[in-house]
């Protein structure tokens, strides 16, 4: 008997302490717990599940576990907005010079569209349907000029004194005066024809065969006319461009002029 009394005395404080530490289950919670157990097979797993279910039902919504916040998705980059349009310039008052211009010519005057102005000058155009052939001949003439004519000219200037070179130039210029006189007559210019013959006579006599030029000293004008110019006066206005080997650029009309002047040149 004493063996039973001593453990009972020790057990009573323990049970009292257990009730203080672990409070008894409320009646409403106990009824819910027993109703949950009545629907199960009352094993240990069912007891734990019922306890968890009752605790979750009595837990306030604020203390329940909240789902994790959604991860923000990257937004597509928007193109930059266009810069604002510049404001239209305000109308400025005309200056005094602009007011004077409008007073003289009228407001809105356009000199380009003025119908009272004369027509613009028409520049002559080159008639060159043989351009490919002329370029080839021009290249040949450049080679001859660079390698033959230019060295000879430099040698001539270096060897022959200037007074002699002037005399030679006067001589050949005087030989062309009869040709100029004939073409001046063919062009209806008798005065120029007489002046050309007078220069030829004066330089051929007093100028020692044309080596000197006394005609220029007495202010007798020098004219140069050829048969190509005569053909132009007669009506051959437009002629195609042509470049001759060694003779350089010409027109077809000038080529016929050279042929017409040849008899007079040989007779001199």
Task: State mean pLDDT over 219-242.
Answer: 92
Model pLDDT, residue 195 = 93
- Is residue 186 predicted with pLDDT exceeding 90? yes
Find which of 85-99, 114-128, 154-168 is predicted with most confidence, using mean pLDDT.
154-168
Task: State mean pLDDT over 94-118.
Answer: 73
Distance CA(188)–CA(232), nearest Å, equals 13
45-to-26, 55, 107, 110, 238 alpha-carbon distances in Å: 22, 15, 106, 106, 123
- Is residue 111 predicted with pLDDT exceeding 90? no
Residue 202 in contact with residue 170, Cβ under 8 Å? no
Between 250 and 11, residue with greater pLDDT: 250
Distance CA(164)–CA(156), nearest Å, equals 11
pLDDT exceeding 70 applies to what percent of the chain?
62
248-to-93, 195, 196 alpha-carbon distances in Å: 62, 30, 27
Model pLDDT, residue 46 = 64
Distance CA(219)–CA(201), nearest Å, equals 15
Model confidence pLDDT, tens digit, residues 3-42: 555 555 555 554 554 454 445 566 666 777 677 666 666 5
Residue 241 in contact with residue 251, Cβ under 8 Å? yes
Model pLDDT, residue 22 = 46
Which 3-state string (H, E, C) describes 120-173?
CCCCCCCCCCCHHHHHHHHHHHHHHHHHHHHHHHHHHHHHCCHHHHHHHHHHHH
Q: CA angle, 172 as apex, 240 and 197 as ends, to 5°? A: 90
Model pLDDT, residue 42 = 59
Task: State mean pLDDT over 177-201.
Answer: 94
Confidence class of residue 190 from pLDDT cuts 50, 70 and 90?
very high
Residue 179 in contact with residue 228, Cβ under 8 Å? no
Between 20 and 118, residue with greater pLDDT: 118
Global pTM reads: 0.51
Distance CA(213)–CA(169), nearest Å, equals 10
Confidence class of residue 102 from pLDDT cuts 50, 70 and 90?
confident
Distance CA(92)–CA(153), nearest Å, equals 67
Between 192 and 5, residue with greater pLDDT: 192
Residue 170 in contact with residue 207, Cβ under 8 Å? yes
Give CA torsion, residues 112, 116, 121, 122, to 10 deg.
Answer: 90
Task: State mean pLDDT over 152-176.
Answer: 94
Between 119 and 196, residue with greater pLDDT: 196
- Is residue 110 predicted with pLDDT exceeding 70? no
Lowest-confidence pick of 14-18, 28-32, 97-101, 166-170: 14-18
Residue 169 in contact with residue 216, Cβ under 8 Å? no
């Amino acid at each position: 008997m004493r063996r039973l009394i001593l453990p009972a005395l020790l057990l009573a404080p323990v049970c009292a302490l257990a009730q203080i530490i672990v409070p008894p289950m409320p009646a409403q919670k106990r009824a819910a717990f027993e109703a949950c157990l009545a629907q199960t097979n009352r094993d240990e797993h069912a007891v734990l599940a019922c306890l968890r279910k009752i605790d979750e039902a009595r837990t306030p919504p604020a203390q329940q576990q909240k789902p994790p916040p959604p991860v923000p998705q990257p937004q597509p980059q928007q193109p930059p907005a266009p810069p604002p349009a510049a404001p239209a310039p305000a109308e400025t008052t005309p200056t005094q010079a602009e007011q004077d211009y409008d007073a003289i010519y009228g407001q809105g005057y356009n000199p380009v569209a003025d119908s009272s102005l004369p027509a613009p000058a028409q520049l002559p155009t080159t008639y060159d349907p043989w351009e490919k052939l002329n370029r080839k001949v021009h290249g040949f003439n450049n080679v001859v000029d660079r390698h033959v004519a230019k060295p000879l000219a430099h040698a001539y200037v270096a060897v022959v004194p200037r007074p002699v070179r002037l005399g030679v130039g006067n001589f050949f210029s005087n030989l062309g005066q009869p040709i100029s006189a004939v073409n001046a007559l063919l062009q209806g210019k008798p005065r120029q024809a007489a002046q050309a013959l007078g220069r030829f006579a004066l330089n051929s006599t007093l100028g020692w065969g044309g080596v000197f030029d006394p005609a220029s000293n007495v202010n007798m004008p020098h004219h140069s006319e050829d048969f190509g110019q005569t053909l132009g006066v007669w009506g051959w206005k437009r002629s195609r461009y042509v470049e001759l080997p060694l003779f350089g650029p010409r027109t077809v009309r000038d080529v016929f002029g050279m042929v017409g002047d040849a008899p007079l040149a040989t007779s001199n």
